[in-house]
Amino acid sequence: MVNAAVDWAKSKNLWRVNPIHKEEEIKVVVDDFFRFSEQEGFDTTQRGTMEMEDPSLFQSCFLPHTCPSDPIF
């Protein structure tokens, strides 16, 4: 199996002779990861809250007959 890896590396030009100790070295994949997924899209869910204070709007539009658009009788 090692001989096959050396032959493969040489055919892909992934080998060299180390300049320091003059030994052949090959670059081979030692860890590989593959995941198959049939998902064709994605879903996103967001949630948040907001808190505001606007006393002038509350007083002018939420109390009865105080909103500027209300007719005054």
The domains of the chain are located at 1-29
Please list, in sequence order, all residues whose beta carbon lies within 8 angstroms of the beta carbon of residue 10, skipping any fewer than 6 positions away: 26
Q: Each residue of 28-73: pLDDT tens digit?
A: 777 777 777 777 777 888 888 888 776 665 555 655 655 555 555 5
**Long-range contacts from 4-7, C-beta under 8 angstroms, 24+ separation:** none
Query: By C-alpha distance, which of 14, 16, 13, 17 is closest to 27?
Result: 14
Instruction: With beta carbons less than 8 A apart as the criterion, state whether 26 and 15 touch.
Output: yes
Greater confidence (70 vs 1) lies with 1
**Residue 34 carries which side chain, given as an amino acid letter?**
F
Prediction pTM value: 0.37
Looking at residue 36, its pLDDT comes to: 76
Phi, psi of 21 (to 5 degrees): -105, 5
